[in-house]
Amino acid sequence: MSIPATAISAEVLGARVGTPRAPVLFDVRRPEVFAESERVIAGARWRNHMLADEWGRTLDPAAEVVVSCVHGHNVSQIAAAKLRSLGLRARFLEGGTEGFIAGGGSSVLHKAWPNDLDARSSCRVTRENPKIDRSSRSTAA
C-alpha cells in the first residue's frame, strides 16, 4: 500500500526519531484531545493546527516538518497544507499519533511534561555567558 507524497509512514518516522535525520515534529491534536492524552511522540511539541500558518512562519525554511493528529486525517492534513503554503517541506504522519504509538513508535508520558512548555522561559548558559537567570524561579515551597 502506498501513501501520499504529503505523508510519512510510521515506519520511516520511527527509524528517524532520535537521529540527526529526524524531522521537526509537531503534535497538532485538538487541545482537549491533547490534554487528555496519555502519551506523545518523543520529541514532538504541541501546536494548534488552525494556527499553523502563524507558527509556521517561525520555522527554519530548510527544515523538514512532520505534523501528527490522532489518526492522521483532517487535522494534521490541514496543518501540513498550511505549512506547505508557506513553502515548508511539511508532511502529515500516516496513521497519526495513535497509530505510531500502537506500532511501537518512541513515545513519552504526557503527564511527565511540565505544563505550558512554550510559556516557560529558557536560559542559555555558556562559558562566555555563565550568568544564570533565577528571576523566573518560584519561591513557593
**Per-residue pLDDT tens for 48-61?**
999 999 999 999 99
Q: 46 lies in a domain?
A: yes
Q: DSSP state, 114?
A: P
* The C-alpha cell that represents 125 in the structure block: 548558559
Confidence band for 2, pLDDT divided at 50, 70 and 90: confident
- Please give the Cα distance from 32 to 42 (Å, whole number): 20
Q: 95 lies in a domain?
A: yes
| Residues with Cβ within 8 Å of residue 105, at least 6 apart in sequence | 10, 13, 14, 17, 41
Q: 122 lies in a domain?
A: no
- Please give the Cα distance from 9 to 65 (Å, whole number): 13
**Domain interval for residue 61:** 7-113
Q: 125 lies in a domain?
A: no
- Please give the Cα distance from 136 to 129 (Å, whole number): 18
Q: 138 lies in a domain?
A: no
CATH code for position 102: 3.40.250.10
Q: Do 72 and 31 contact (CB within 8 A), yes or no?
A: no
Q: Do 44 and 14 contact (CB within 8 A), yes or no?
A: no
pLDDT tens readout for residues 66-124: 999 999 999 999 999 999 999 999 999 999 999 999 999 999 997 655 554 454 444 44
Q: Quick count: other Cβ atoms within 10 Å of Cβ 90?
A: 27
* The C-alpha cell that represents 54 in the structure block: 502563524
* The C-alpha cell that represents 63 in the structure block: 527544515
CA 120-100-113 angle, to 5 degrees, is 20
For range 118-137, the mean pLDDT: 48
Q: Which residue has the higher pLDDT, 141 or 51?
A: 51
DSSP tally for the chain: helices H, then strands E: 5, 7
Q: 31 lies in a domain?
A: yes
Overall number of domains in the chain? 1
Whether 140 has a pLDDT exceeding 80, the answer reads no
State the pTM of this model: 0.77
Whether 132 has a pLDDT exceeding 80, the answer reads no
